Structure 1
């Protein structure tokens, strides 16, 4: 049975071919840098590694090695990723991890009452289970991003281009600006309200609303006319059937007259 179990466990090589990590931004002093994010499948603690030139090329092996250097176990799927704290706890509980287990992903296993209790306890203490600088140097805590001076300047430059006359131009909104700059929408709203004015109306959205309202009016009129037409059609079909039935009765009566009265 142990031999079969060993065959079904995904290897690190398998993970290198199928794993992709979320790319996000993290605070670094007064600016933001690109980073890759990983989340523990047990306690949901998050960790980041700055995106070096090798990581920006999207090679899974490089990302796995970077997280592994900080004590993370990278599984074949995100649910099998383990932070350093959960990895040590799991190794202590199972007592089956070998010296080279740091290069293996956590394989599927049956859920026992003890494991279920441990997992529930880990989720209720997710903050304490999050990796600290002592446990995983270089891994940053999952803190809300803060807007720095450079972020504010970049947002203001973008708003100068797309905002005017108390309204956005083209198809721009707080949401589309945030998506274009890859920053939180709340940052854009904060800068816009402080230095430019209300979000206001967007000409393209106004046109869309007017066109949609006109379409819905026409569609409602069409459906009402269609209903009337269908009802009239049903009445005509019923009248045709009644006329046909009456014609058959008259024909039968005429033949009887011919037979009986000559």
Structure 2
């Protein structure tokens, strides 16, 4: 397919007198369209079609368009912004998963200082604010906050939590991030489905235009 066939050629008004000059129309599957003036480059040497395609594309890209090599691949500024926003919301799960906690190292004298009563108090508090090993702490609770609340060393909290409950990670903030990521993925899938329908319609229209042009010649 010649690159110059990526546009729909027509005549567009130009200048103060709105004189009709050679131009083209670019259409987005969503229905948006824009026309631009296009001076002919035929006879200037080299690959005229490719040069004209680049010149027209630069004009449209400055206006926010995303230009493809086929008519159905063009995207208007609104669709470009929507797709970029949806893509920016979707992050690899490796970015949302916190790194594994460092191995616990507790000095022998600290271990000796943890009494049975200390363990009981810490355990009861963890049982109150720790949801599960998959979810982690409830709300904004952390090892640090729990240690400060009880007035005990953080290392003690980590020790009891690791022995009886699970990892510290998996708090409310992480759950919100996961929900946002799932919502963004659903939006992208919905857009993709709609785009397929619009691209199918664009293919039919393009074939119809080609057939009409052939008959009119």
Q: TM-score range by the shorter chain?
A: 0.3 to 0.5
Tell me the TM-score normalized by structure 2: 0.35
- TM-score (structure 1 length as normaliser): 0.29
Query: Rg: which structure is higher?
Result: 1
